Chains A and B, each alone.
Chain A
């Protein structure tokens, strides 16, 4: 059966990159005795996929992995078994069975929430003007093929100043169709002189969502809500 696992990443674990987290979880599944399924062939590997890589330096309260397993454990048991073998800074939050026809996390992820913490308050008026504007927000996006300029305005679907203007909450496009890393928003804020270039911030990913609405009326559903607890 298909299972979706949600976990949080904090503390020093933020320095462990995505590929290392993949290997970390492969080993963790074995330590925890999760009966995970393997691909066929001479070098079988675990059937496991991550929803969305998390950059080095970010915390997260909403990371997702989909696995295929023969089952046998309740959600409660699986969460406990996994938490018993986690490193400090990784915590399993849920372990839920998905419908058989569910799309995997990687393919359905559409939005992500982030919290960016600054060491000083932002100028609320200027931030307001920045986010409420209509002109394109152009930033440079580096990829393997070089640097391109993108307009990230349509990818920012929500924002809010919190914590006496010391934190910025963002809801951004995520996934293969259109993806906006929070760092791009920070680049744009720096270009607009609202923050300093390379200002020290702490970013936390809060949640990943699938879009379960329509084209006109998008609905953000946390990925874990697409599964149900095994009891």
Chain B
């Protein structure tokens, strides 16, 4: 019988106890006594969210292929269990062995969104691991962070021994070998971490110092020790088709968000939207070979028994073998009751044809992400989707039987005018008019156009990293203007508009471009009880306002302040591939309303060419 860390009494009192028992299909079982390295992989959110994340499954699989390593998983205990564990002093444990995470060699935490930061502290705290690296000894695991948020790791600098910048497939083996050597030689934790600075892609915050000017901006940022590199280069897998991929992913018992096979078809994006961090930091675009993908699909459906497969990428339509792959999936698995889900597809004749085969048209809706309401603004953000594209795509879909459209926009983009945001309503109206232009007997009832807007948050390593972010009041005022304009349209009865709340966006904006001084604010907010901030039922703005006030910090310093072109940013020490020259050039072009062609039309010399892979080398054997 498998042992459990939690007593029956607690498991029976909490919601969804199956979140905490492990034992899932394809879970890896090893004898912890027979491995040299115990690695605990953490997604600091509730199980259903964490288990839906592809990155962890990739690393879990890769680590466990190594005989000397046992990789296990841990997620944030939900608030009910959190209380019970504190009440009864039960240390946080890994799902597989149910052993306390404190006893592991490594605790790897993936940082997918800023609003999970208090959950990082929760995991450490419940795990009995000191929150700050300066209080840890060899009695504690090495705490290492990864994921997109590490492109500005500074707001977490006090809590992590190490950050891994970039794609996990490249230097983890080197890190583990270094660890083994270091432990064999009985080196100190600091000596081990110093060795890590010599591994590409690893950032050890304790070996860097920051000085600030009187105005609060950074005066200098650099190594405080000889031999520690000035810059840390992101890690990139050049050949994805060869990279390890989890062919037997863990299948949860509880229904998770991604209850399906996720087939990663490529990484990176050619589009160069100027607000999009993923589009910049994952450059260059690298496709996986279609034959490899077919085989992966087959094996993963077999090993999991999932009834759905979803293609994962930033922009699936840009995969050169998409049609072949999709047709294969439909022919091979469609008849076996397997659903095929195709997010991030451009709406055109091909995709509509595919969607007709894999979805119920009456129930499904078309999705467009124009991101901005006016063509002028779409040029500013370099979103290469024109009004003509949208209306043509919609017309094609309407004549094919669809009548629901979803539109995604952002508010608060740099240089936005009232015309630009009213454009959201006007574009929605034009789509509705396109629908009603179809002869009555050829359409099915009314159409339903739903526009949603979120608030623009400038991110590190995007051309908009210099842009001020709007305030909550500005956001809400803008949302109101759009809402009024929607109501003023002829087809208002077919239009719907909803917008995200702004409190969370403001906070996300602070951490997205924040610095180390925010570590204290985070701890204070956590002590105030902030947890699961990305969950609206848990988020409490007051706990944060109080934390900022007590630390004497002004959040607007990080959000609404305009930044000089030569300001030293907290993340400048990272080499993310895209050069600062390129980003500045893009920022200038944005302000001039000039579009930049995508990588396949013309290379813009962003800097990612140095990785010698993917789209940068296409067509030049």
Contacts and interface: CB of A to CB of B under 8 A. Distances in A.
Contact of B254 (A20, A38, A89): A20
Interface string A70-99: 000000000000000101110000000000
A29 B305 contact: yes
B330 to A, nearest CB: 14
Interface stretch (A11-19, A60-68, A157-165, A215-223): A11-19
Nearest to B7: A200
B1 A11 contact: yes
A32 to B, nearest CB: 8
Contacts of B304: 27, 31
B4 to A, nearest CB: 6
Nearest to A46: B337
A200 B13 CA distance: 12
Contact of B307 (A16, A17, A27): A27
A121 interface: no
Contact of A56 (B9, B17, B24): B17
B255 interface: yes
Given A38-B337, A42-B360, A30 B4 contact: no
Q: In which size bucket is the chain A interface?
A: 20 to 34
Contact of A85 (B2, B25, B337, B360): B25
B11 A27 contact: no
B375 interface: no
A12 B25 contact: no
B12 A28 contact: no
A1 B12 CA distance: 39
Contacts of A42: 359-360
A38 B254 CA distance: 23
Interface in B189-203: none
A15 to B, nearest CB: 4
Contacts of B359: 42
Interface string B1-20: 11010001101100011100
Contacts of A13: 23
A26 interface: yes
B201 to A, nearest CB: 37
A16 B21 CA distance: 9
B187 to A, nearest CB: 39
B360 A16 contact: no
B181 interface: no
A24 B337 contact: no
Nearest to B19: A15
A12 B7 CA distance: 11
Interface centre among A10, A17, A30, A56 (most CB of B within 10 A): A30
A129 B17 CA distance: 37
B301 to A, nearest CB: 7
A43 interface: yes
A11 B2 contact: yes
A16 B255 CA distance: 11
Contacts of B306: 27, 30
A26 B307 contact: yes
A142 interface: no
B339 interface: yes
Contacts, number: 74
Contact of B253 (A11, A20, A29, A38): A20
Interface string B272-308: 0000000000000000000000000000011111110
A17 B302 CA distance: 24
A30 B17 contact: no
Given A43-B360, A89-B23, A27 B4 contact: no
Interface centre among B9, B21, B305, B307 (most CB of A within 10 A): B305
A23 interface: yes
Contact of A12 (B9, B12, B21, B302): B21
B365 to A, nearest CB: 15
A44 B337 contact: yes
Interface string B242-255: 00000000010111
Contacts of B302: 30-31
B3 to A, nearest CB: 9
A144 to B, nearest CB: 18
B4 A12 contact: yes
A15 B11 contact: yes
Interface in A84-135: 85, 87-89
A166 B2 CA distance: 25
Contacts of B253: 16, 20, 23-24, 87
Contacts of A23: 253, 255, 259
Contacts of A89: 2, 23
B214 to A, nearest CB: 57
A56 B2 contact: no
A42 B301 CA distance: 20
Contacts of A12: 1-2, 4, 21-23
Interface string A27-41: 111110000001000
A19 B18 CA distance: 12
A85 B302 CA distance: 11
Contacts of B9: 200
A20 B25 contact: no
B217 to A, nearest CB: 52
A10 B23 CA distance: 12
B544 to A, nearest CB: 35
A56 B19 CA distance: 13
A30 B305 contact: yes
B225 to A, nearest CB: 48
Contacts of A26: 305, 307
Contacts of A227: none
Nearest to A28: B305
A27 B24 CA distance: 12
A45 B308 CA distance: 12
A43 B23 contact: no
A43 B339 contact: yes
A46 B336 CA distance: 10
B21 to A, nearest CB: 4
A20 B2 contact: no
B2 A16 contact: no
A56 to B, nearest CB: 7
A1 B21 CA distance: 36
B246 to A, nearest CB: 16
A65 to B, nearest CB: 15
B307 A30 contact: yes
Given A56-B12, A88-B2, A27 B25 contact: yes
A64 to B, nearest CB: 20
A127 to B, nearest CB: 24
Contacts of B12: 56-57
Interface string B320-353: 0000000000000000010100000000000000
Nearest to B4: A12
A-B pairs, top 8 by smallest CB distance, nearest first, are A27-B305, A30-B305, A31-B305, A15-B17, A42-B360, A12-B21, A16-B253, A16-B18
13 contacts: A11-B1, A13-B23, A24-B253, A27-B304, A27-B306, A31-B302, A42-B359, A56-B17, A57-B8, A87-B25, A88-B2, A88-B23, A89-B23
Interface of B: 1-2, 4, 8-9, 11-12, 16-18, 21-25, 251, 253-255, 259, 301-307, 337, 339, 359-360
Given A11-B23, A15-B18, A17-B16, 4 more contacts: A16-B253, A30-B306, A42-B359, A44-B337
